């Protein structure tokens, strides 16, 4: 990047907020070598707009950053370009507790947000892996969710409007402050999960919920996976849990190392109910009557169990890293998939843990192999992918840079889909500077300037 | 202009018996439930996706306007062919293709009515949650296009919360699959978000995948009476501030109460300035306490009387009152205009007061309904369309209402859409760059600008 461009960027964001040093670049990098050329820390939306205009004029790729927690999940390695770190934009602009909304800057951390909301007993039900450091903007861009996705849905269900800076430098508002609002196309939800590919989210109107009167978590131990699956099915069908997780033996063991020791050696179910006391009591009572081994996690134990659940991936991977596989299935195919996949994994040399957001029919398989060594396990992954496909499901590998399976899935949506995606991208980003490494569009842009 | 060659093509595509050009047919499709009109040149009843694709290919090549139409109950002109051209009527595509109870999904064709779907899934103990008041007539395709809301919106959300996928024919006649039955895990953009509520601008859905929800096990229904609309509005915020989210929180003013009571004779409190119809649902356990709490809150906030429906008959009466309200208003004046400006909930008392003031200032009777829990007003402005001078006053009331809603942090439309009826006000809600962006987005889907064009986003924005 030319020095005069760096100088101009520094002129926009101020001295000290345009960094080209190795530490800052590494912090916003993907690998040891795939690093941005400069990291910018804008202080407001106008600065974001100004730097976007400059980047568009110069044809420099721009990738927005929050805490960077999820970058490995949604972005391919990219060398060069600008990382735009939004964590200086961290104000809660308006907390309208009476209307249960908060208007915040994108860089506010979930921890600071929680603290601000606590004064009026409301919360924002998005609890990703790093429930403290993650930024609101990052959660929205990443389409984040926590265990309560079953009851409340992912982040797109918890935002009402956005302020977005388009690559042309326009600052646009989407949605608004009311739940019912059809005055524009729903770009608010469209941008949720867009991984920076369309624009930079600078502000968000959050839809908040009252902290429920009661919340109860139960753990159900099982010796055999089959029994756990059958129980989870009953629980999903007969009660309306907020969260319902199925954990195989390896997952339960991993959680023991992450702060929740279930005491046994089998698999388990973690289920949470919330709401009014009588209703929660009735739901819990149902589960305890059906499954005598179910125990209520009291005091700090419930939070510890969920924290351990969120930490399964880092706890399982250790230093080497692990391959993370996601499978989405028809609910009714879960039993067959889980049973056969576990048997398949037991045949192989790699350790593997299986956890399912059971109510969402979304399975995670952690494979004890470094992502760089993906080629070595490709055969078993392909067999699992075929199994999922035959059951009407889809398998993708989350943390490798190979988009073959995803591309195939999207191509099957129709011949016209890639062309449509390119036109939509151009409506936001005619210069194609926004996050060309964003997995959600990289396969559609292949061959265009953005991907090169 | 639809010429003879095009007419021949349309006949070949859909069959002679499905193509109509008589004056009576064309006049029949000039309108929807809004106040805007426009005459089409040809009506085509389609029976499958291939026919739609072929028609759109043809229309794209010849740059002919196309207006998709379901039940025609749109309240903003979404189904009005104001540019002439072809109206594609979807009501013959009315099959429920699949109900998969344990996976809690249904797949329907766009011409299936909301009520037909409700009835089909009820035996499985499931509900398709969005329940627009027009549900007996309005189609799922129309619901998708408009992101229809309904009475249960406050707790269970809107159409966009319950449609998870679709088969979509783009304006160039190409077909794509959007979303699907599965939890989305692939790295891809969520196009569902843009299509749902796009007012038929971005494509025509030919199959719709709906999420079904287990029917709530129990409910309690209450009626609270007030002297003033403002008291009722204040109660709404107070209930929700107590952490209770009812599934229904509907407001009716004295005019509506009396119109309904005169017609149905179900014992509504005709002297009340306003009533709130409130329902909580979910597990039976705990509902009694919630109901007691709500009734106490209503009393604290000025309710003169609060009743709990004691049996199914009493509950049905209350619901009938709400569902029939708009029909009842038809007895009071030759025409009505129902707007759906929406404000943050706590601003309800203020905007309710403003509507009363406008009614007086412009000497136009206004009946007030509201999905109060969502801050979603439904003021029914009553008039006679043939009276030009009165129409001018009605227009002034509308404009003043939109101005106030926006000033209070609200929106032009909560659930009926912009269509043609509110197009002129878009410049109040959005700045030039925002409108230009929306226009670009529209053209990304419909480069020839033929599909329900000239609606939702002003053409002049580009």
Task: For residue A321, name the pLDDT band (cuts at 50, 70, 90).
Answer: confident
Report the residue of A93, A99, A122, A184 to disrupt the B interface, i.e. the one with the largest count of B CBs within 10 Å: A184
Task: For residue A130, name the pLDDT band (cuts at 50, 70, 90).
Answer: confident
Does the pLDDT at position A446 exceed 90?
no
Q: Do A180 and B153 touch (CB under 8 A)?
A: yes
For residue A387, give both structure tokens: 């199994």
DSSP letter assigned to residue B76: S
- Residue B147 contacts residue B415 (beta carbons within 8 Å): yes
Dmax of chain B from CA atoms?
70
Does the pLDDT at position A452 exceed 80?
no
- For A160-205, give the DSSP string: EEEEEE-TTS-EEEEE-SSSS--SS--HHHHHTT-TTSS-EEEEEE
Q: Do A190 and B197 touch (CB under 8 A)?
A: no
**Number of residues that make up chain A:** 452
Which of B 218-237 lie inside 8 A of A, CB atoms? 237
CA distance B278 to B222: 5
Q: Which of A169, A221, A218, A159 is nearest to A193 (CA)?
A: A159
Which of B 337-396 lie inside 8 A of A, CB atoms? 340, 342-346, 371, 374-376
**CATH number belonging to the domain at A3-85, selected among 3.30.70.600, 3.40.30.10, 3.30.43.10, 3.30.56.10:** 3.30.43.10
- Please give, rounded to a whole number of angstroms, the shortest distance from the CA of B433 to a CA of chain A: 7
The dihedrals phi and psi of B241, each to the nearest 5 degrees, come to -60, -25
Does the pLDDT at position A406 exceed 80?
yes
Q: Do A186 and B202 touch (CB under 8 A)?
A: no
pLDDT, tens only, A363-389: 999 999 998 899 999 999 999 999 999
Kindly report the average pLDDT of chain B as a whole number.
Answer: 95
- Residue B414 contacts residue B374 (beta carbons within 8 Å): yes
β-bridge mates for residue A109, sequence order: A135
Q: Do B189 and A440 touch (CB under 8 A)?
A: yes
β-bridge mates for residue B274, sequence order: B226, B253
- For A394-408, give the DSSP string: EEEETTSS--HHHHH
At residue A337, the 3 state secondary structure works out as: helix
Q: How many CB pairs under 8 A join A and B?
A: 231
What confidence score (pLDDT) does residue A449 get? Answer: 43
Place of tokens 């997995």: A439
What confidence score (pLDDT) does residue B324 get? Answer: 86
Residues of B in contact with A403 (CB under 8 A): 187
Minimal-distance CA residue of chain A relative to B420 = A183
CA distance A372 to A382: 17
DSSP letter assigned to residue A212: P
All structural domains of chain B, each given as residue ranges with its CATH number in brackets, are 4-89 (3.30.43.10), 96-214 (3.30.465.10), 218-407 (3.40.462.10), 431-461 (no CATH)
User: Residues with Cβ < 8 Å from B248, sequence gap 6 or more?
Assistant: B151, B152, B154, B155, B221, B277, B278, B279, B373
CA distance A91 to A427: 30
Does the pLDDT at position B405 exceed 90?
yes
pLDDT, tens only, B30-73: 999 998 999 999 999 999 999 999 999 999 999 999 999 999 99
Among the partner residues A178, A195, A277, nearest to B342 by beta-carbon distance: A178
Report the residue of A74, A170, A182 to disrupt the B interface, i.e. the one with the largest count of B CBs within 10 Å: A182
Taking the Cβ of residue B181 and every Cβ of chain A, the question of whether any pair is shorter than 8 Å is answered with: yes
Dmax of chain A from CA atoms?
72
Burial of B47 (0-12, 13-18, 19+ CB in 10 A): middle
Task: For residue B327, name the pLDDT band (cuts at 50, 70, 90).
Answer: confident
Residues of B in contact with A410 (CB under 8 A): 186, 188
What CATH fold (topology level) applies to the domain A213-402? Vanillyl-alcohol Oxidase; Chain A, domain 3 (3.40.462)
The whole-number average pLDDT for the span B371-393 is 93
Does the pLDDT at position B361 exceed 60?
yes
Q: Do A178 and B412 touch (CB under 8 A)?
A: no
Residues of chain A with CATH 3.30.465.10: 92-210
Residues of chain A with CATH 3.40.462.10: 213-402
Among the partner residues A177, A240, A412, nearest to B344 by beta-carbon distance: A177
Q: Do A279 and B375 touch (CB under 8 A)?
A: no
CA-based radius of gyration for chain B = 22
User: Residues with Cβ < 8 Å from B236, sequence gap 6 or more?
Assistant: B249, B251, B276, B345, B348, B372, B373
What confidence score (pLDDT) does residue A270 get? Answer: 97
DSSP letter assigned to residue A75: B
Does the pLDDT at position A450 exceed 80?
no
As a CATH number, domain A92-210 is 3.30.465.10
CA distance B435 to B449: 16
CA distance A266 to A260: 14
The whole-number average pLDDT for the span A297-321 is 90
CA distance A423 to B171: 13
How far apart, in Å, are the Cα atoms of A78 and each of A20, A166, A426?
16, 20, 20
> How many CB atoms lie under 10 A from the CB of residue A47?
22
- Residue A444 contacts residue A418 (beta carbons within 8 Å): yes
Minimal-distance CA residue of chain A relative to B149 = A180
CA distance A193 to B294: 38
Minimal-distance CA residue of chain B relative to A278 = B286
Residues of A in contact with B411 (CB under 8 A): 176, 178, 180-183
* pTM of the predicted structure, to 2 decimals: 0.97
- Lowest mean pLDDT segment, chosen from A273-277, A346-350, B97-101: A346-350
Residues of chain A with CATH 3.30.43.10: 3-85
Quote ipTM for the complex: 0.97
Q: Do A185 and B345 touch (CB under 8 A)?
A: no
For residue B190, give both structure tokens: 């969520």
What confidence score (pLDDT) does residue A14 get? Answer: 97
Among the partner residues A178, A213, A413, nearest to B176 by beta-carbon distance: A413
Sign of dihedral through CA atoms A185, A191, A194, A198? positive
- Please give, rounded to a whole number of angstroms, the shortest distance from the CA of A185 to a CA of chain B: 6
Taking the Cβ of residue B446 and every Cβ of chain A, the question of whether any pair is shorter than 8 Å is answered with: no
User: Could you tell me how many helices (H) and strands (E) chain A has, helices first?
Assistant: 18, 19
Taking the Cβ of residue B211 and every Cβ of chain A, the question of whether any pair is shorter than 8 Å is answered with: no
The dihedrals phi and psi of B20, each to the nearest 5 degrees, come to -125, 135
CA distance B368 to B73: 20
- Lowest mean pLDDT segment, chosen from A14-18, A338-342, B277-281, B313-317: B313-317
What confidence score (pLDDT) does residue A451 get? Answer: 38
pLDDT, tens only, B124-167: 999 999 999 899 999 999 999 999 998 899 999 999 999 999 99
- Please give, rounded to a whole number of angstroms, the shortest distance from the CA of A141 to a CA of chain B: 11
- B66-69 and B86-89 strand pairing: parallel
Taking the Cβ of residue B293 and every Cβ of chain A, the question of whether any pair is shorter than 8 Å is answered with: no
CA-based radius of gyration for chain A = 22
- For B52-74, give the DSSP string: HHHHHHHHHHHT--EEEESSS--
The whole-number average pLDDT for the span A344-362 is 95
Q: Which of B46, B429, B242 is nearest to A184 (CA)?
A: B429
Minimal-distance CA residue of chain A relative to B173 = A416
Q: Do A100 and B289 touch (CB under 8 A)?
A: no
> How many CB atoms lie under 10 A from the CB of residue B271?
11
Task: For residue A320, name the pLDDT band (cuts at 50, 70, 90).
Answer: confident
pLDDT, tens only, A247-289: 999 999 999 999 999 887 899 999 999 999 999 999 999 999 9
Kindly report the average pLDDT of chain A as a whole number.
Answer: 94
Q: Which of B212, B208, B159, B193 is nearest to B416 (CA)?
A: B159
CA distance B51 to B1: 20
Please report, to the nearest 10 degrees, the dihedral formed by the alpha carbons of residues A95, A101, A105, A110 taken in order.
Answer: 90
CA distance A185 to B438: 7
What confidence score (pLDDT) does residue B462 get? Answer: 57
What confidence score (pLDDT) does residue A447 get? Answer: 54
Q: Do A186 and B147 touch (CB under 8 A)?
A: yes
Q: How many CA atoms lie within 13 A of B170 on its CB side?
A: 24
Residues of B in contact with A151 (CB under 8 A): none
């Amino acid at each position: 990047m030319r020095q005069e461009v760096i100088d101009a960027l520094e002129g926009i964001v101020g001295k000290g907020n345009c960094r080209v040093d190795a530490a800052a670049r590494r912090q916003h990098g993907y690998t040891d070598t795939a690093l941005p050329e400069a990291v910018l820390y804008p202080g407001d939306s106008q600065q974001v707009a100004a730097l976007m205009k400059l980047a568009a004029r110069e044809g420099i790729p721009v990738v927005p950053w929050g805490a960077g927690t999820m970058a490995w999940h949604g972005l391919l390695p990219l060398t060069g370009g600008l990382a735009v770190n939004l964590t200086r934009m961290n104000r809660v602009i308006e907390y309208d507790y009476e209307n249960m909304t908060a208007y915040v800057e994108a860089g506010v951390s979930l921890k600071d947000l929680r603290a601000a909301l606590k004064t009026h007993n409301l919360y924002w039900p998005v609890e990703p892996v790093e429930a403290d450091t993650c930024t609101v903007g990052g959660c929205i861009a990443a389409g984040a969710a926590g265990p309560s996705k079953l009851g409340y849905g992912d982040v797109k269900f918890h935002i009402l409007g956005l302020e977005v800076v388009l690559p042309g430098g326009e600052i646009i508002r989407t949605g608004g402050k009311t739940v019912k609002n059809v005055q524009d196309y729903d770009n608010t939800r469209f941008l949720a999960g867009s991984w920076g590919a369309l624009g930079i989210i600078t502000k968000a109107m959050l839809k908040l919920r009252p902290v429920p009167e009661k919340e109860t978590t139960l753990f159900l131990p099982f010796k055999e996976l089959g029994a756990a699956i059958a129980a989870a099915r009953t629980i999903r069908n007969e009660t309306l849990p907020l969260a319902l997780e199925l954990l195989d033996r390896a997952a339960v063991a991993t959680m023991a190392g992450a702060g929740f020791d279930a005491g046994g050696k089998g698999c388990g179910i973690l289920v949470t109910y919330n709401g009014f006391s009588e209703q929660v009591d009735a739901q819990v009572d149902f589960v305890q009557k059906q499954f005598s081994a179910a125990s209520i996690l009291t005091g700090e134990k419930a939070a510890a169990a969920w924290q351990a659940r969120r930490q399964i991936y880092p706890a399982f991977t250790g230093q080497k890293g692990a391959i993370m596989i996601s499978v989405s299935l028809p609910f009714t195919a879960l039993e067959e998939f889980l049973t056969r996949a576990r048997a398949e994994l037991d045949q192989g040399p790699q350790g593997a843990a299986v956890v399912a957001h059971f109510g969402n029919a979304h399975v995670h398989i952690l494979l004890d192999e470094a992502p760089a060594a993906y080629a070595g396990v490709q055969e078993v992954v392909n067999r699992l992918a075929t199994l999922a496909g035959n059951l009407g499901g889809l398998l993708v590998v989350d943390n490798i840079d190979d988009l073959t399976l995803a591309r195939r899935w999207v191509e099957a949506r129709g011949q016209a889909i890639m062309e449509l995606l390119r036109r939509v991208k151009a409506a936001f980003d005619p210069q194609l500077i926004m996050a060309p490494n964003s997995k959600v569009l990289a396969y559609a842009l292949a061959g265009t300037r953005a991907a090169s | 202009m639809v010429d003879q060659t095009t007419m021949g093509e349309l006949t070949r595509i859909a069959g002679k018996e499905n193509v109509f050009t008589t004056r009576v047919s064309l006049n029949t499709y000039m309108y929807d439930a809004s106040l805007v009109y426009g005459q089409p040149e040809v009506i085509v009843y389609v029976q499958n996706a291939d026919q739609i694709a072929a028609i759109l290919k043809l229309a794209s090549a010849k740059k002919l306007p196309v207006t998709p139409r379901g039940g025609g109950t749109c309240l903003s002109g979404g189904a009005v062919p104001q540019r002439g051209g072809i109206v594609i009527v979807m009501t013959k595509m009315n099959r429920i293709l699949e109900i998969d109870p344990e996976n809690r999904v249904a797949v329907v064709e766009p011409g299936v009515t909301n009520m037909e779907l409700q009835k089909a899934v009820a035996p499985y103990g499931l509900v398709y949650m969005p329940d627009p008041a027009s549900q007996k007539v309005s189609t799922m395709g129309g619901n998708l296009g408009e992101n229809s809301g309904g009475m249960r919106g406050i707790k269970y959300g809107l159409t966009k919360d319950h449609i998870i996928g679709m088969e979509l024919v783009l304006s160039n006649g190409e077909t794509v699959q959007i979303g699907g039955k599965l939890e989305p895990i692939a790295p891809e953009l969520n196009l569902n978000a843009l299509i749902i509520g796009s007012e038929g601008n971005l494509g025509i859905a030919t199959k719709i995948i709906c999420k079904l929800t287990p029917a709530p096990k129990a409910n309690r229904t209450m009626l609270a009476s007030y002297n003033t609309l403002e008291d009722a509005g204040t109660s709404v915020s107070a209930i929700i501030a107590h952490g209770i989210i009812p599934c229904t929180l509907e407001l009716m003013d004295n005019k509506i109460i009396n119109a309904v009571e005169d017609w149905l004779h179900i014992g509504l409190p005709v002297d009340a300035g306003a009533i709130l119809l409130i329902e909580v649902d979910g597990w039976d356990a705990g509902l009694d306490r919630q109901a007691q709490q709500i009734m106490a809150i209503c009393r604290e906030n000025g309710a003169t009387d609060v009743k709990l429906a004691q049996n199914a008959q009493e509950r049905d009466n209350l619901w009938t009152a709400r569902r029939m309200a708009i029909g009842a208003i038809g007895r009071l004046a030759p025409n009505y205009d129902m707007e759906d400006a929406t404000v943050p909930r706590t601003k309800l008392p203020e905007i309710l007061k403003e509507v009363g003031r406008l009614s007086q200032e412009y000497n136009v009777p206004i009946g007030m309904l509201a999905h109060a829990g969502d801050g979603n007003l439904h003021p029914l402005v009553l008039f006679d369309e043939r009276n030009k001078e009165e129409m001018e006053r009605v227009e002034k009331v509308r404009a003043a209402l939109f101005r106030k809603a926006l000033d209070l942090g609200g929106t032009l439309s909560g659930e009926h859409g912009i269509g043609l009826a509110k197009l002129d006000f878009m410049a109040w809600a959005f700045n030039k760059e925002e409108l230009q962006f929306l226009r670009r987005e529209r053209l990304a889907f419909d480069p020839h600008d033929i599909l329900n064009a000239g609606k939702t986003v002003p053409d002049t924005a580009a």
